[in-house]
Amino acid sequence: MTAERVTRAAVIARAGGFEAALESGDLPRRADVTMAEAVVLGLLRQGVTRFVVVLGHGSTELGEVLRVYQDAGVLRTFAVRHETEASHAATALRWVTGERVAVVTSIGPGALQAMAGSLVAASDGVGVWHIYGDETTEDEGPNMQQIPRAEQGLFLRLTATMGPSYSLHTPRALPTALRRGLNQVDHPYRPGPFFLLLPLNTQPELIKDFNLDELPVGAPPRLGEANPTTSYAEIARRLLDARRVVIKVGGGATECRAELEELADLVDGVFVMSPISLGIIPSGHPRQMMVGGSKGSLSGNHAMENADLLVAVGTRSVCQADSSRTGYPNVQHVVNINADLDAATHYARTSALVGDARLSLAALIEAVRAEAAEGARQESEWLAECQTARAAWEDVKAARLARPRLHDPVWDREVLTQPAAVHTVAEWAAEMRAVTFFDAGDVQAYGFQMSAQDEPGASFTEAGASYMGFATSAVLATAMSDRDWYAVAVTGDGSFTMNPQVLIDGVAHGATGCVVVLDNRRMAAISSLQIAQYGKDHATWDHVAVDYVAWGASVNGVNALFGGTTPEELRAALDRARAHSGLSIIHVPVYFGPDPDGGLPSYGRWNVGNWVEHTQELRHEIGL
């Protein structure tokens, strides 16, 4: 089999791809292949040429296939040191560049760790293949590292809870498995992870005379415009009759800037963003009120609190995005545009437009034009009121930046505040046209609160799962990409220590980027939450000092730097990092304490802790 496999790989390489080799006839349409090789061929046909792997005894046959095809130059394999890191890096690659990628792990604990990381792709709608080893199908006795119970398909049951899954118990079922996976990872509206389980004994099983034409190709089709239960004209009249329209822009509205801007002018609406949707509407747009929700801006939350009609476009309305369903206390009606039925019908009193967001917006605009007596509305009291709130929000941020350093008792000196540090990095990254990843906690909140983004894709805030360690792992995606780009991960000390493997794997694979560690020796977001709710923090900090510069310098090839205690010193460190051809780490001590200038205020509600009773009571009182 090895010789035939090597020949097939060489044929595909010479032809420039699987499809070209098949169409030319150089690659025979029927072949004797192991199931593992058929999986790889099927993924190649779909354009998957990147495999991020932690191989083990549950993936030896698949690993051998990957070796042969990599030697031929058909695909690339990236061995990493942790399965969660593999999941994060693969997600970041697909999210930023659109390049298709697969995560490969062994059976058992490694697969569980990869699956935990897949929560990011599931939450944020990113299509990634997850390929895990699985227990053997002949049940000769418990397999090492399987779930130790006398039941079948337990790991399939686990993965199926996270997303669509398939276990290749029968090798000739492969085409169906690959089609279901393709429909998930390349879904035009709500992609996500697909879990393909390969039992240890079926991976090397030979499929005789396999018809390669059975391997599926072609992404599922897009939807058309929505067909509402009421007419577009009736919905248009509701919009025109409303006096305070807010348009909540979600990640599903990425391609809709022109339509959103036109609709807002016609109905005198203002925009409120989700963290994932920053840049869809430029930050300087006169109707842009920025992020709203539990950690939203003053202006974004003002618009949400005072609107009487909500237009929701491509948003799932997660708890922090709408203050645990209390974010719109005065809204009397919702126009919800989404390709997902559940998301489109999330609120009561809704006109649900289930279909393609751009096409549905275009149809709605046409109806509004037909119903409007005078075309676009003139500037109104509502717009002026919201713009006043936006100016006040900019003043709040400016006040924080005017005091970028505060004395911190842990560091026993003045150090940068987190808002000042995040702003310095974000501003520098924008100048360098770098891609910025903001990690969980305060780093994440300050990242989207301080944002002045004018195009989508300049920064990524993993707000769907708020997964600590995602940003650091994401830098590895620069090494896997066909594109040449520079990544900046802004992370807290807690998040960094959860996934520090990129210091090694980034050098091994040639990542180009920088990890900025904002260090306050605590989980500051949770400490602050505890203090706000109960007056004391508990078990969210320690006294252990870590020399992150020495840690980074201990890895040959890492450019380890101290970021200083002023914005100017931090910018200088960033410049030195960018001058380095590979991976850098910058350590920045930051302030934590009671001074309000050390952070940013919150304007929303959240259904946690001792706020629960009031928040839930308000939610049911609003009844939306």
- CATH C-level class of 232-387: alpha beta
Separation CA 114–CA 123 (nearest Å): 15
Contacts of 46 (CB under 8 A, 6+ apart): 100, 178, 182, 186, 216, 217
For residue 611, the model assigns a pLDDT of 93
Separation CA 92–CA 494 (nearest Å): 20
For residue 2, the model assigns a pLDDT of 85
Instruction: State which amino acid sits at residue 505.
Output: D
Q: Tell me the pTM.
A: 0.96
DSSP state of 556: T
Q: What are the extents of the domains in the chain?
A: 2-214, 232-387, 403-593
Question: What fold, for 2-214?
Answer: Rossmann fold (3.40.50)
For residue 109, the model assigns a pLDDT of 93
For residue 144, the model assigns a pLDDT of 80
For residue 613, the model assigns a pLDDT of 94
For residue 462, the model assigns a pLDDT of 87
CA distances to 247, 409, 416 from 597, rounded to whole Å, are 31, 16, 11
Mean pLDDT of the chain: 95
Q: Are the folds of 2-214 and 403-593 the same?
A: yes
Separation CA 463–CA 451 (nearest Å): 14
CATH number belonging to domain 403-593: 3.40.50.970
For residue 345, the model assigns a pLDDT of 95
Which residue bears the tokens 């390669």? 212
For residue 375, the model assigns a pLDDT of 56
Alpha helices in 512-558 (DSSP H): 524-534, 548-553
Q: What is the separation of C-alpha 417 from the centre of its chain, rounded to a whole number of angstroms? A: 26
Phi-psi region of 171 (alpha: psi -120 to 50; beta: other; left: phi over 0): alpha
For residue 320, the model assigns a pLDDT of 81
Q: Residues in the chain with pLDDT < 70?
A: 374-379
Separation CA 129–CA 131 (nearest Å): 6
For residue 588, the model assigns a pLDDT of 98
Beta strands across the sheet bearing 333-338: 288-291, 269-273, 245-249, 309-313, 333-338, 350-354
For residue 248, the model assigns a pLDDT of 98
Separation CA 543–CA 186 (nearest Å): 46
DSSP state of 563: -
Count of helices and strands (H, E) across the chain: 24, 22
